[in-house]
Amino acid sequence: MTDSGSSHLDTLLMHTGSAEFNPKTGSAPVAMPSMRTSTVRFANLAALDHALHGRARGERLATYGRAGMDTHAALEDVFCSLENAKRAFLASSGLAAITLALMALLDAGDHVLVSDNVYGPVRNLDRKVLHRMGVQVSYCPARPDALRAHLRPNTRVLYVESPGSLLLEMLDMPALAEFAREHGLILVMDNTWGAGYVYRPLELGADVSVVAGTKYVAGHSDLMLGAVMLRDDALAGRLNDTHYAMGYSISADDAWLALRGVRTLPIRMRQHAANAMEVCRFLSSRPETVRLFHPAWPGDPGHALWQRDAHGSNGLMSVELALDESQARRFVDALRLFAIGYSWGGYESLVQLVEHSALESHSYWSGSGNAVVRLHVGLEDAGDLIDDLGQALDVARR
């Protein structure tokens, strides 16, 4: 790859992971090709020995197709640029990346503290796998005073998500990093919201960052992807050993699609964020709106933390509406441009009617009987999205 000569992330994302020039022809494709293989062949045993010894030292050298070839390595470099990390490990989904991180960093008998705003499937991972493996999990508000009361002699990891994926609760990451250092804990953060572009937890003191590349990195709702990033060599060794032992792999085509998506990440994120602010302004004017959950919105309780720690925003937001259940269902069903779906981060607008049972464990939630709707504000015209929300609210109130 030709050195871009720039430290600006927007420029790095255009050039990191580019194909090398062919030494014979002096040419190279603009887009890294999808390099698919199940088997790696070697010119001689000395070359194989070199690769095996390098792998033993923790270097990224492929000896079998599962570890991936140039396409995978290029995507790993991109994630390292996004997160300012030394190593990145790819997984088949965001949840797979979370599982990889926790399985690599926890042993049987260990205890992990988890923020109570965490992505719902983490609780299922706890119930179905971690509990069976002898790992103890405690959920509590992600504040040092609350966490301190749940510490145990065997606590090893603090796992948090900022902002939370349902109510967009911003956490004080530097304070949590100081707490983790004070008690010898490994701080792992789900950074799917920030995707490394608008939020960089490793720079705020986290030890490990986990991202669902399915969302904003890919950007087109056409692949599943996860990644784990970190700086510490010892922790990277644990991740490397676990990643290889558990057979983690993604397809070269998915890696290629993610590389394609990340080239437009800067402009997509900025437009998502601009559209979301337009939607916030509209919703704040509606009598049905009780509260907006969006850290870039000045009225959000986490706005000051967002201003201090983040470099931008995106299209994910939630809104508490003074609607009963039947009205809320009419509102969602009446939307024309917002498709009903659980994901976010793609180009399209989505809506999810959040069940109150999913919020009961969140200390950030007030516990009111109002409806909560999560919106992913896509790349459609903001005026069209606002018109759609307005007509759907009118339908709900009839």
307-313, long-range: CB < 8 A, 24+ apart: 309/170, 309/173, 309/174, 309/199, 309/204, 310/194, 310/198, 310/199, 311/197, 311/198, 311/199, 311/200, 312/197, 312/198, 312/269, 312/270, 312/273, 313/198, 313/269, 313/272, 313/273, 313/276, 313/277
Locate all alpha helices (DSSP H) within the chain, ordered by sequence. Answer: 9-15, 45-56, 70-83, 94-105, 120-125, 144-148, 173-182, 233-245, 252-262, 265-284, 303-309, 325-334, 356-359, 382-397
Please report how many Cα atoms fall inside a 13 Å half-sphere around the Cα of residue 219, on the Cβ side: 22
Choosing from 87, 119, 216, 248, the catalytic residue is 119
Q: Whose CA is closest to 287, among 396, 377, 169, 167?
A: 396
Q: For residue 190, indicate whether it is catalytic.
A: yes
- The question of whether 215 is a catalytic residue gets the answer yes
> Which residue among the candidates 87, 200, 215, 268 is catalytic per the annotation?
215
User: Which of 168, 121, 95 shows the shortest CA–CA distance to 374?
Assistant: 168
Residues 66, 260, 263, 397: which is the catalytic one? 66
Residue type, 202: L
Cα angle: 373, vertex 359, 191; to 5 degrees: 80
Q: Is-catalytic flag, 197? A: no
Q: Is 59 helix (H, G, I), strand (E, B) or coil?
A: coil
- How many helices (DSSP H) and strands (DSSP E) are in the chain? 14, 12
Contacts with 271 (C-beta within 8 Å, 6 or more apart), sequence order: 379
Continuous H helices in 246-299: 252-262, 265-284
Smallest Cα–Cα separation from 352: which of 327, 371, 326, 324?
A: 371
Active site residue 119: yes
Q: What is the side-by-side strand order in the sheet with 155-161?
A: 87-91, 226-230, 208-211, 186-190, 155-161, 111-115, 136-140
Residues labelled catalytic: 66, 119, 190, 215
